[in-house]
Structure 1
Amino acid sequence: MQTNQKLWYNQPAKKWTEALPIGNGRLGGMIFGGIHQEKIQLNEDSIWYGGSQNANNPDTKKYLPEIRQLLFSEKQQEAEHLARMALFSQPRYLHPYQPLGDLYLWFVHDDESVDEYCRILDLETAITTVQYKEGKVKYSREYFSSAVDETVVIRLISDRPGALNFSANMMRRPFDLGSRAISPNILLMEGECGRDGVEFRTAIKAVNEGGKVQTIGDSISVENADAVTLFLSTATTFRYQDPERVCLEQVGDASIQTYDELKEAHIKEYHEKFARVHLDLANGEKEELCSLPTDLRIKRYQEGEEDVDLESLFFQYGRYLLISCSRPGSLPANLQGIWNDQFTPPWESKYTLNINTQMNYWPAEICNLAECHQPLFDLIERMREKGISTAKELYGCRGFVAHHNTNLWGETHIEGIPLSASIWPMGAAWLSLHLWEHYRFGQDEGFLRNRAYPVMKEAAEFFLDYLVEDENGQLVTGPSISPENTFKLPNGTKGNLCMGPAMDNQILQFLFTAIHEAGKILENDDDFMLEIEKAIKRLPKTEIGQLGQIMEWLKDYEEVDSGHRHISHLFALHPGEEIHPIHTPRLANAAIQTLEGRLSNGGGHTGWSRAWIINFWARLREGEKAYQNVRQLLTTSIYSNLFDAHPPFQIDGNFGATAGIAEMLLQSHCREIVFLPALPQTWLNGSVRGLRARGGYEVDIIWKDGGFHSAKIKSKVEGICRIRTDIPLLVCNGERMVTTTWHDSILEFRAIKGDVYTIHPS
């Protein structure tokens, strides 16, 4: 196992953003580590308020042509006035994700002095521990959320027989229907999430070693025990007809195993995923710095000191969080993963589709957690039926459309109030590209044929009907927005709603190109390929404005907020591939101008925006600038538990930063692999193992003195491997030299499935 993969603190958490997260994809907890009162704030991924909505506005189709004509005529105020009435959903907002409740442990202590306190989250094992001494007694607790046994497991022990005395109860406000005893050592909490919302049941069972356990009122009482194991599970009507039976069975099945068996199974299942990737940013001060509590390391770092091991810890923390909140069978990670303590969370803790949900999954493929992508694909499948209805009812179009938010039920209508965010029909198009990326990394043609291509085609069919011709004969989207930005017309009028913003065009360029490539791979759908080819030629191209920047709108309008957190018109740089420092240097230079303009005016002031900027600079192969933004994010946009601070907490910044660090070390878009494309000087020596590259490869890289030393590529499929390199390279398969060709800085060789190739300078 790797060393120093721990967050640790020498005091309990005082605030939620100091608590430590655990999760098994579906069931999560935030561990505070209190001494006399312990609080574990609980979440389950399907606890959402209210039910599904049929909220498409019946007047949209009638007024859509008029709104478009007003926008083409730059009658901004009239267009936006009509759009507020004719396009928005009824009701306007989606229902929120909600907490499951809190588990409290109330300890009976002798009020002696407490010392040797330590609270640890071990990323290697996904186990949180709390240890302290009170007087002469040492108390220890371990917490984990097991995907194997579908339970949260809490182990409490003391080194003096009979020293454990505490009560445990569960609470939820509002919609708490109370807890009741099922047996002398089992409590059941019942709850609901409003009218038409899910109902849930949560069971907790205590198994003692020594002493006595009994239920009193709504609590479990533990008296004079040597050790106790608590088992907690929950189930909802979203998945089960009888959630009470399910959660009681889960705690029952878990409790017949020994604690060591449970722990070993949990670690084995989790560690296999976590250990696939190892990042070592060699630093002579590693041991000294890792002996400091994490909050003090963060403070030291924010005061300007170096700590590259903290940076690698933050990278792996993102992978830990993704494993912990997105597993096959779970729901996808929302704005807060699964960790939310509020009944009215910021932005309802939904799935926001104009960057945030997509950013959550940027690390999935490259960071070797492809199965963690699966919940997003399942959500897209749930969205398809509603998206087909929304396309037909609102726009009179074929295919599948979604706007800027969705939820547990896969809603696709225009949701919200602000024009600056809501009227944006690109959600399904962008989401469908995640299926394409999954194929590109894994090369599973069955997945492409049966899952990815049908969704991509439906998303494209919508736009083939929806696009309209502008005065220049181009096919443009609209009404739409450049998320969530505002422009100024020449007459001084400010606006959000527009026709053909750059991000829309760039997403469609990527989607249509991907569909065309997929069609050639699958060798079918020739007539549809012809439709796509014709449409691609008429999409607006990415243009450069008078200030040398990438234009955000069809016309070179003035921005109202030059430091806006969204940088949507650089989609073509990342995650798109149209802007490239080698293949399109003129556009790349304009992207640099765009980024520098945003940053000089205060851009990147939210965690997720800063994370996107890391990825932008990495794609531009500007290692020092990418690293500056890694530092800036860790300096201004994290809490002491390493959660991303928007503020408030949003998990996308964690995931985006992890993906960005990986992108600094390995890139594989545009059909070429690049080793260390954005390596900063601070990471002078190091190695990374287990990253994935498009084309079906797993890659290890070693660098020394700031330069490439060697790499290994394991091929999962047979095909031509293409590596962009500025220096001659030798490729070996074992002891055998592999035949290569090298032309225009591209090295090529034929890779055989299952073989491992060693690459080093010649």
Structure 2
Amino acid sequence: MMKPMRYAMHMKRPASWWNDNWREGTPLGNGLHGALMYGNTANERVMLTHSRLWREGTQPDIPDVSDVLPAMRELIFAGEVPTADRMITDALIERGYAPREAFPFPAADLNLVLPAVKGFSRYRRGLDMSSAEAYVRYMDGDTRMERRGFVSRSDDVVVVECHKDTEISLSIHRPDSTDEEIKLPENVCTVVDGEWLYFKAEIAGVEHGAVARVIKGDTALILVKLYTEGDSSVKWPALKARLADLPANYAPLFERHVAEHRRLFDACRFVLEDREFDQETTNEQLLDAAYDEGMPNALAERMWAYGRYLLISATTTGGLPCNLTGLWSGDYEAFWSFNMANINLQMTYWQALQGGLSELMLPVFDYYDFAIEDMKENARKLYGCSGIFLPAVTMPGCMRHVCLAPHITNWTAGAGWIAQHYYDYYLFTRETDFLEKRALPFMTEAAKFYIDFVLWQGDTWHVCPSVSPENRTLNYKMGNIELGDGTQSAIDATMDIAVIKELFTNLLAIGDATSLVSVSDMAAYKRMLDGAPAYQINEWGAPREWLHEDFPDNDLHRHQSHLYPMYPGLEHARRDEATTEIYRRGAVRRMTVGLSCQTSWSLVQNANMMARVKEAELALESLNLIAKSCLMRNLFTTCNDWRGSGIGLEFPLAPFQLDANAGWSSAVQEMLLFSDAERVELLPALPPKWERGQIGPLHTRCGISVELSWDRDANEASVILLASRDTSYRLVMPDGGQRTITMKAGDVQKSAFGLRKEV
């Protein structure tokens, strides 16, 4: 079995992003509490957050606007798309619907003040991802200064150790922005009582706060817990009692935390040989190398580990799913901080099942299961359909349709796409109780919606309105009408067709394998599958993005929704070489014709797609482009390049979002292993630059886990296969050879094989 190794990153400067220093902080978290260490020397700040501190959302009852749909469809089919596009959204507004999106708010700042004596030198800060511990080290004259901390996964407490002479306080989070119009928390109160610090504030009239214990000795040990609602007269004594029960020194707290963190983090390892750089190389050196000659292997490895680390740190069982900024947004009313289900949430979790983090999927299912009644209301009142409508934009406390933008209102593939994750969880884990009580009920409700929503013409159904996120067709005209810039509604977007087909394919598979699906439902599901419109190929030999002839393709865009049947879907994956070539062309066009329209997450999507079509070098190049354009000093991914490199979208804000961080880990795993319910492919897209390495255990849909190592110079590799259940599958080697393997639960097979020779 592969031995655990240490993953770390080091930086030469504190967080230094002007007007938004938090963006380059060092992130810590246990899925509930979050912390971000700025890394300052004399005046350190540790931003404190909590996954449940969401405020300012309002969720009124949705007015019934389902009467609008027939007229909207009539106009779309008549070519009056710009007029039709806003009809449902405008009807909601006209009938008084005025929801407000909630935001995750920073809870407080832990302030650590230690004035300089002679000034600092030999500065370093960093993060040990293997233990989830951050540090700051520097010299003040001849005196060595050190600060370290973690957020305990076992005790649910923020722990910081610093110099004993440090002045310590709690305050509201101070924005880095110079914008004086930012509305800060109100009714702030801080109390100091010996070794105890108390803090409270209000946002939108709802209290939150913190209690800290400061234990002085040879060092100063700080323990902090937050609360997100309640009254300080009750919360402060309760949190004080819990902190008083914890050990009063760093080592035992750290030891129990590390054991729980490593249970998750060490469940998979990726090691890539780099002859020039290693674990001690700073992020700045790796980024400079990427910007100069191309991404070093050490950076590819570090980014895989970081994406894994961030997902583990941002969520936990019993908590909330990881949103676009995780636990680490330092803004009030943060930009793009919600859960976005038209690719971003899915991308964040692509790595989880294969990487041995199946338990981290459970908060996603909890989140959507809890909202079933709200999603039924969405379906009924927006479209007059049974079942569920899952909007792309949601956040805790706002699970009804809340984002009144037509491309969100009119996109109906959300429930079907999330259903893929429910079914995939079952394929990986084979938990029959989950299938019966969670996956199948959700999938059934999604199916009810599509059965009601589609329009039948003879033996074929169609989708209208139909949105291919977040794209619009190119040069659309019907008569004298030209499609407006923001208009995205159409007919039969390929993604909608693919998602619906996938859902009913999976429901039929469940019905064939179990007695959980009724005969009448099976007949209805088969009719839906048989009635799907056929996919089409455009003039460039790539999949058409819209199947209706009035909607020509547009490759000047970041989303690759039309490639869903190849990735993240499995419908056309490994089907045949001709089909693979069609999807390869589609992905290449997005990365050539549409290169200037890309984002970090779309480059990650392309890396996963290129791995799926076995284009190793193009997959690696997609990651290389991210390394050149969308990484900050702390390796957080920005949505786009802020420096006008032409690699991606021109957008001056360059918002931080960690979907690309997490999706990077998935891309690496997809390059090195593919599985469906019947086969496992070893090293399907191994780049030549990755000469020696190892990865595993990676989990599969076939009921086995896989550990791989390879050496290109020796033209040899080895694999360890471990069966988690009785199984039979096809094992496909890099040279195309394959064999059927049957294993019993607990069986282990080891073998060596040759690598595909380079042409």
1:467-486 to 2 correspondences below 5 Å: 467-470=454-457, 473-486=459-472
1:670-689 to 2 correspondences below 5 Å: 671-689=678-696
CA distance in 2, matches of 1:584, 1:544: 16
CA distance in 2, matches of 1:207, 1:546: 70
Are 1:502 and 2:494 counterparts? yes
Residue 733 (structure 1) aligns with: none
Are 1:265 and 2:256 counterparts? yes
1:634 equivalent among 619, 627, 639? 627
Question: The residue matched to 2:685 in structure 1 has which SS?
Answer: coil
Asked if the contact 2:674–2:682 (Cα under 8 Å) also holds between the matched residues in 1, the reply is yes
Asked if the contact 1:545–1:556 (Cα under 8 Å) also holds between the matched residues in 2, the reply is no
Distance change >3 Å, CA 143–CA 500, structure 1 → 2: same
Query: Greater shift after overlay, 244-253 or 664-673?
Result: 244-253
- The AA in structure 1 aligned to 2:594 is G
CA distance in 1, matches of 2:328, 2:369: 24
Residue 389 (structure 2) aligns with: 401
Are 1:39 and 2:39 counterparts? no
Residue 68 (structure 2) aligns with: 63
Distance change >3 Å, CA 241–CA 44, structure 1 → 2: farther
CA distance in 2, matches of 1:91, 1:415: 10
CA distance in 2, matches of 1:573, 1:4: 35
Q: Which runs of 5+ in 1 are unaligned?
A: 158-162, 210-225, 729-744
What fraction of aligned residue pairs are identical, expressed as a percent? 26
Distance change >3 Å, CA 559–CA 651, structure 1 → 2: farther
Asked if the contact 1:386–1:410 (Cα under 8 Å) also holds between the matched residues in 2, the reply is no
Query: Greater shift after overlay, 165-174 or 41-50?
Result: 165-174
Query: Greater shift after overlay, 376-385 or 719-728?
Result: 719-728
- The AA in structure 1 aligned to 2:38 is F
1:92-491 to 2 correspondences below 5 Å: 93-110=100-117, 112-157=118-163, 164-172=165-173, 174-181=184-191, 183-194=193-204, 199-209=207-217, 226-237=218-229, 243-254=235-246, 256-287=247-278, 290-305=279-294, 307-347=296-336, 349-409=337-397, 411-413=399-401, 415-417=403-405, 419-470=406-457, 473-487=459-473, 488-491=475-478
Distance change >3 Å, CA 720–CA 242, structure 1 → 2: farther
CA deviation after TM superposition for structure 1 residue 696, in Å: 2.3
Asked if the contact 1:719–1:750 (Cα under 8 Å) also holds between the matched residues in 2, the reply is yes
Distance change >3 Å, CA 73–CA 278, structure 1 → 2: same
- The AA in structure 2 aligned to 1:401 is F
Query: Greater shift after overlay, 239-248 or 620-629?
Result: 239-248
Distance change >3 Å, CA 386–CA 306, structure 1 → 2: closer
Question: The residue matched to 1:589 in structure 2 has which SS?
Answer: helix
Asked if the contact 1:718–1:752 (Cα under 8 Å) also holds between the matched residues in 2, the reply is yes
CA distance in 2, matches of 1:268, 1:129: 19
CA distance in 2, matches of 1:535, 1:374: 29
Query: Greater shift after overlay, 49-58 or 689-698?
Result: 49-58
Q: TM-score, normalised by structure 1?
A: 0.89
Deviation sequence 1:706-755 (CA, Å, 0-9, x none): 75511011111112132123659xxxxxxxxxxxxxxxx54212211122
CA deviation after TM superposition for structure 1 residue 164, in Å: 1.8
Query: Greater shift after overlay, 78-87 or 148-157?
Result: 78-87
CA distance in 2, matches of 1:245, 1:105: 24
Q: Which runs of 5+ in 2 are unaligned?
A: 174-182, 640-653, 755-759
CA distance in 1, matches of 2:544, 2:265: 41
Are 1:80 and 2:85 counterparts? yes
Deviation sequence 1:352-376 (CA, Å, 0-9, x none): 1111111111111111111111111
CA distance in 2, matches of 1:685, 1:385: 51
- The AA in structure 2 aligned to 1:484 is E
Q: TM-score, normalised by structure 2?
A: 0.90
CA deviation after TM superposition for structure 1 residue 283, in Å: 2.4
Distance change >3 Å, CA 677–CA 76, structure 1 → 2: same
Distance change >3 Å, CA 171–CA 81, structure 1 → 2: closer
1:712 equivalent among 720, 726, 740? 720
Aligned alpha-carbon RMSD (Å): 2.3
Are 1:661 and 2:648 counterparts? no
Distance change >3 Å, CA 425–CA 241, structure 1 → 2: farther
Asked if the contact 2:604–2:663 (Cα under 8 Å) also holds between the matched residues in 1, the reply is yes
Asked if the contact 1:449–1:522 (Cα under 8 Å) also holds between the matched residues in 2, the reply is no
Q: How many residue pairs end up in the alignment?
A: 714
Asked if the contact 1:676–1:708 (Cα under 8 Å) also holds between the matched residues in 2, the reply is no
- The AA in structure 2 aligned to 1:652 is D
Distance change >3 Å, CA 245–CA 409, structure 1 → 2: farther
CA deviation after TM superposition for structure 1 residue 522, in Å: 2.6
Distance change >3 Å, CA 392–CA 558, structure 1 → 2: closer
CA deviation after TM superposition for structure 1 residue 607, in Å: 0.6
1:526-541 to 2 correspondences below 5 Å: 526=518, 527-541=520-534
CA distance in 1, matches of 2:541, 2:92: 35
Distance change >3 Å, CA 51–CA 443, structure 1 → 2: same
